[in-house]
Structures are given as structure tokens and as C-alpha cells.
Amino acid sequence: MTRMTGTGLSPTTTTRTRANAGAGLLLLGALLTGCGAEPGEIPLSEIRADTPSAAPDAVGAAAGTPAAPAVAAHNGLIVSRAYLDPDHTTSAIVTVGPDGTGERQVTQPPDRARDDRPDWSPDGSTIAFDRTDPQTGGARLWTVPATGEGERQIGQLCDNGTADCTNEDERAPAYSPDGKQLAFSRSWGALDPAGKNQIQYSDLYLMAPDGSNVQRLTFLTNDKPYSGEVGNPSWSPDGKQLTFEYRTGASGQPANSRAVYIVGADGTGLRQLTPWELRAGDRASWSPDGTQILFTTYPAGADNAPGGGIYTVHPDGTAIGALTPAPSDAFYGAASYAPDGRSIVFAQAPAGGTADLYSMRTDGTGVARLTNNTTGRWLSRPKWGTATPPAAPGAATPTTAPAAPAQTQPSAEPQSQEQDQN
């Protein structure tokens, strides 16, 4: 991935971020009691799960269905990323109704810019996303009202060219359940001199939605540069924990793999949630009752390669179960629970085809196709929110996606070789 150069933290932000980083290192040092590590000297190999992750259940078996919330939430609009051109050089954020109708583009990216990784504010009024600059290759965080007017960039951490922020990149914003914080991934530093294009440092951060009060939450790459990249945070419903993806590089342990991790919102309790063999990645999704976590697996190779699947796991790392058939010749992308906890929306594409949005019940049954794009727009990374879909004159507003008894396959068409299409 090409990275942005020539950026740095402003003096005020630098002081605030370094102070918070020091506090976080002390928390992590306390977590690893008995290893004798000092802050800043904790090897990646010693950051392990509190208990071993469970081996997956029989692949293809249905996982337990999470209980519905006591008060059913409103299933509103689904937000997604969609490419605007057949070569997949420009992408925008779009919304669709819970039944897949009424697709609407809500961001207006410049030519060859990529808007991606959207997330809803808890009240459904605002969408946070990242935008990759076509000139620099660096991503920054933005927000846009659900109505689509007034998109704006959140104040970036780096702006004055200091060494701290070379190639600085900010991605995957995620609102906390109370709407008072955004979690996001930040990468920075030199690129791997061995020519692997791996960034030097990458970790999880928190800040207020206006860009203030920045805090570093994880330190996975602090002592071992070029080992991997952190991304795609997701909050637990009670706001006390976050999941995120850790994707290792050539020098990682193990090399070139990926897994879902979990950490407390205060930086404690860091542990690996899924085994490396599953290659879990992208943004996980918590069930509204907090008992299940959805995640997607990806085979080695191109990010859009077929052969992965959608799974669930308990927050303690036990009872991993598959919701989708395996082995599979389809591509599966990120999945998201509906606000009422009764349905799941996810991206899927047949081998050689283009991705569309589908829904299913929380036990993996009742798969229904929601969108039917024939122009290669590659709808993916959906997040189900509470925003009310605009109703057509005289029509009732749907509140849940229909569940079809069988899946309808998309029409086949060539896939772009663009990486990171999950």
C-alpha cells in the first residue's frame, strides 16, 4: 500500500499523544505480569491470548443464535462501500434500505479517491468513514450526515512534517455505543527497507468525534517495527471492549497471516480471539446482546479470493462456529448484525463475479439477496444502522430484510485485481 509522506503531529497534538502513549505502555506492562518487560520492550511473541482460542466447530455447522434484545431496536439503513467505475479506482459510501431497495450515494469523492470502511453513529444521524487520497495514498477520517450533505474531514493527527508522522495513515473509524468516542487504526513511519512495502508502526487509537483527546490504545508494533498492521476496530455493546484485526507482515509471528484480537476500552486485557489458521480479518461485529462476535475469514492470496466464510465466536474465544458452507467457491466479505439482533447483512460474490449485499438469519439460514448490481460496483463492508429509510409516497417503510428460503447467485463477471476489496 502506498503511504503518505511529509506529515507530522502538530506540537500540541504531539504532546498529548505521547503522554497518552506512555500511560498505555504502563497498562500493557502491568497486563504482562511476570515477563519482566519494561514499557517499550514487550516483544510481540509475548502478547498472547489469556486462554488458547478454541478450535473451530465442524465447518458448516450453525452457531448458536444470540438472544434478541429485550427491546427490539429499529432496523434502519445499511451503509456500504461501492466502487463507481469498472476499474475500481474510485469508491463512495452508499446507503440502502433494509430490504435492499433505495440505494443512495451519500459521499462525493474526488476522482480516483476511495471512500471506505463506513460506520454509523449510534443515533443513525452520521456516518464516519475513511478517504484515501489519490495523490498521496494516505487515508484520513471523515464524517457525513446520513442525508448526504455536508461531508467534512475530522482534524488529522499529523500536519507539520515531524518524523513521528512520516507516511501517517488513519482508517476505519468506529463510533462507541454512547457516541462519545471514535476508535480508529493509525499507521506511520518508514516503509520496510527490504522492499515489502510494510509500514513501520501500526496500532489502535481513540479520540472524540471532533478529533480531540487522542489516545493510543494498543502497542502491538511498538517494539517490533514492520511486524504487521492493526485495523477495523469494533465496539462491544456496553462500550467496555473492542475487537480489531491484526494482520502480520513478512517479519510477523506468524508471517503474512491475520487474526481478530480483543482489548478493553482502557487498554487492558489484550488477547487473541481467533486462531491464526482461520485467517480472520476485516471488521468484526458484536451481536446487540454482546454474546456473539461475527467475523469473516480470508484465504491466503488476493483479498478478493474465494474460499473464506462467515463465523461466530463468543467474546471469551470459545465456541467458534461457521455460518456459511465450507469449503466454498464464493468470496465472503465483512458481515454486520442488524440492530434488533435477528438478521445479518454481509457481502458475497461468486468466483469471478461481483460482490453484492445479502442477508441471513443469525443461524446462517434464510439467505436472501438484497442488491443486484450488474456493473461491478462491488458492494461490501456493510454496517446496519438505525437511520430511517426514506419512504416512497404512499408506501410503508420496511423495518427488516426479507429472508428467502434459498440463495440467488449473482451473475458472473470479471473481478478487478484491486487489492483490499473485502
**Domain map of the chain by residue range?**
11-41+64-384
Give the dihedral of Cα atoms 220, 225, 226, 227; nearest 10 deg.
-40
pLDDT tier at 26, thresholds 50, 70, 90: very low
Structure confidence at residue 357 (pLDDT): 97
213-227 mean pLDDT: 93
Q: Which pLDDT score is estimated for 14?
A: 34
* Mean pLDDT, residues 149-158 taken together: 86
Q: Looking at the predicted structure, is the pLDDT value of residue 354 above 80?
A: yes
Least reliable range by pLDDT among 31-40, 258-267, 342-351: 31-40
The pLDDT of residue 69 is above 50? no
**Which of 364, 346, 365 lies closest to 356, judged by CA?**
346
**pLDDT score recorded for residue 162:** 67
Residues 6+ away with beta carbon under 8 Å from 1: 137, 197, 199, 419, 420
Three-class DSSP labels, the chain: CCCCCCCCECHHHHHHHHHHHHHHHHHHHHHCCCCCCCCCCCCHHHCCCCCCCCCCCCCCCCCCCCCCCCCCCCCCCEEEEEECCCCCCCEEEEEECCCCCCCEECCCCCCCCEEEEEEECCCCCEEEEEEECCCCCCEEEEEEECCCCCCEECCCCECCCCHHHCCCEEEEEEECCCCCCEEEEEEEEEECCCCCCCEEEEEEEEECCCCCCCEECCCCCCCCCCCEEEEEEEECCCCCEEEEEEEECCCCCCCCCEEEEEEECCCCCCEECCCHHHCEEEEEEECCCCCCEEEEECCCCCCCCCCCEEEEECCCCCCCEECCCCCCCEEEEEEEECCCCCEEEEEEEECCECCEEEEEECCCCCCEECCCCCCCCCCEEEEECCCCCCCCCCCCCCCCCCCCCCCCCCCECCCCCCCCCC
pLDDT at 210: 93
Bridge partner list, 348: 332, 356
Nearest to 271 by CA among 10, 93, 31, 22: 31
pLDDT at 277 (0 to 100): 95
Please state the length of the chain: 422
Of 181-195, 226-240, 311-325, 383-397, the one with minimum mean pLDDT is 383-397
The set of residues, in sequence order, having a beta carbon less than 8 Å from that of 89 and lying 6+ positions away, is 83, 112, 114, 134, 418
Least confident of 183-192, 245-254, 285-294, 369-378: 369-378
Indicate if the pLDDT at residue 233 is higher than 90.
yes
Return the pLDDT at 420.
65
368-369/356-361 β-pairing: antiparallel
pLDDT higher for 24 or 141?
Answer: 141
Instruction: Pick the range with the lowest mean pLDDT from 75-79, 192-196, 222-226.
Output: 192-196
CB-hemisphere CA count at 13 Å for 310?
33
Average pLDDT, the chain: 79
Cis peptide preceding 288, ω within 30 of 0: no
Least Cα distance to 297 among 280, 285, 317 occurs for 280
CA atoms of 387 and 71, how far apart (whole Å): 17
* pLDDT score at 61: 31
Query: How far apart, in whole angstroms, are the C-alpha atoms of residue 197 and residue 190?
Result: 9
Q: Cβ(271)–Cβ(292) under 8 Å? A: no
Most confident of 53-67, 120-134, 401-415: 120-134
For position 311, what pLDDT does the model report?
98
Residue 405 pLDDT grade (very low, low, confident, very high; cuts 50, 70, 90): very low
Q: What is the pTM of this model?
A: 0.79
For the residues 86-90, what does the mean pLDDT come to? 92
Residue 101 scores a pLDDT above 60:
yes
Q: What is the CATH number of domain 11-41+64-384?
A: 2.120.10.30
More confident residue, 236 or 1: 236
Residues 6 or more apart whose CB falls under 8 angstroms from that of 291 comprise: 66, 67, 314, 315
Radius of gyration of the chain (CA): 20
162 or 187, greater pLDDT: 187
What is the predicted pLDDT for the residue at 401?
41
Q: Confidence band (pLDDT; 50, 70, 90) for 159?
A: low
Evaluated on CA atoms 420, 230, 139, 312, the torsion sign reads positive
10 pLDDT more than 90? no
- Name the percent of the chain lying above pLDDT 70: 74
